[in-house]
A and B are shown apart, each in its own frame.
Chain A
Amino acid sequence: MSFPWAKHYEPTTDFGRYMDSRLPLPRLVYGALGAGYPTPKNLNYFYNFGVLAGVALVIQIITGVVLGMHYAANTGIAFDSVEFIMRDVNNGWMLRYMHAVGASFFFAVVYVHIFRGLYYGSYKPPREVLWLLGLVIFLLMMATAFMGYVLVWGQMSFWGATVITNLFSAVPIVGEAIHTWLLGGFSPDNATLNRFFSLHYLLPFIIFGVIILHVWALHIPGSNNPTGVDVKGPQDTVPFHPYYTAKDFFGLGVYLTIFAIFVFFLPNALGEVDNYIPANPLSTPPHIVPEWYLLPFYAILKAFTTNFLFIPAKLWGVLAMLSAILLLFFLPWLDTSPVRSNSYRPLNRIFFWVLVADCILLGVCGGKLAEEPWVRIGQLASAYYFAHFLIIIPLIARFEKTLPLPNSISESVLAKYGRTPPPGSAGSFGGTMPQPAE
């Protein structure tokens, strides 16, 4: 679907007409990413991050496929093969640093993308399915990143795998059986490494498939925008090409520049030094931590220190960590406010920034040793995380007095330029009631 004023693809050459009646691929591209896709004209730079995430995935797949040609998934030589890539494979050091730094950047970009969606209410109707698919991608990313980190078979790989797979043993009755089944043994070993390599190669392509669904689900209602107000007419949109292709290209340039600075000058800044020590099942590192992008969830896992309601602390931690992600699937139905954008939600906007600070605080707690005051701070920050989504957001949606919405996107753009719309057009600012999101 698209807006009625969308331009339609018209083949200009004989070959174009030939293809159009057989495999209309150019028509698909034209309608999805070309001039045939009208896009709100007020998107800010935060709307670049979807494209950036796609590029980040492509970089991971390309570098990963080449790394896979030189990597050996065997506990005896996995670490050596990584060092072989670093020392003897042509430009192997660059491929590996791009892949390792690329994983961090992929997550950084996706986190901005998710928080953008939270701020502008992009999960609200009619984009719930788009949001749900995005969360599926996020879950798949976490699984893929975790397994990829294990492949290095350094100390942190091994002990991270030990800690994370151990979580499954917290499940009552069948936990141990599941744990053994997943690992192919009683602790991470060759069987584990081999299946992790297989899955680490498979999952990115599944992510790619879900991204196609994600983009499809985006193209039905079209992009949300910073006002959260629906597109009303042609004056609210510009064709995706050349307007957003040009903007995305610029954004991509900024992204790649920062990416290159990390790859070439700070390649190990985001990693753990312990992972340059080969895995040793007999020597536990003093401090086991996941990569930075999983630290907030690790903090929630560690926050449960006492048994409660006859459920052991470990099971609480596992349930909470799982719930911390799963609750996001319910967000479109927890936040019932008809106003999408936080620009017009003064109370929710405050709590949005509290949530951002809370997540950063959780990340800090996740990286600390289990000692005071960090344990207590982690517990309070975790409590806020759950309270925010499950208690505060539904209450705000119910009681918040939202600000008047602009009548249309173009009206808000005109207001930004300090001009009033011409008589007879969208109308004036004051007294407009919030419009339902549906």
Chain B
Amino acid sequence: MSKPLAKLQGVSRVYQKGKERVEVLHDIDVEIPEGDFIAIMGPSGSGKTTLLNLLGGLDKPDAGTVVVGDAELSSMSNSQLSHWRATHVGFIFQFYNLLPVLTAQKNVELPLLLTRFSSKERAERAAIALDIVGLADRAKHYPRELSGGQEQRVAIARAIVSDPTLLLCDEPTGDLDRETADEILKLLQILNKEHGKTIVMVTHDAQAAEYANRTLLVDKGKLGFKAAA
């Protein structure tokens, strides 16, 4: 077993909905080994996305610690988390979340604006990322000119362009047909196996979860059981 890349210990997360207090995650302990590909499944509202947000430093736990690599996310400021995310995590969303006013190339370059790379270096790296996802010939296209699968590939290119160790995917195939979904999942597998990316993927789709090495089930804020993929 590889050393853990991410480690959550005693993590709880509570939301206040009006006067109601909703505990989304309760005393979660989990380790994610470096180079792993994990699917997180569970019913709606079970806390899957919250778990993903905590791993990505988008949210902070009310109790417990979240450690990713050498960073203790739960004790970092918002600004520190921003800088950490820029270099350590890539995000892939269900609805791609590309900026419609930018071409595929410029969308992929976005995370590199936060680096010291020159304009030429940014363009070169974005071109490599687009090549990896098989969209080198769509670099000048705007999101509206791409299919859903192509948009998701651009989003994956954007997620990997700054060479992060961890990829967090929130329902990456939720908006795609089966065939396109399989293409995207194979691409994630390649990124995991050939490029060594650690991937955590939230999904409702059991077939999608089969592409992962193992699956975590979350229900009512707790990790139910782990099943080998």
A, B: real partners: no
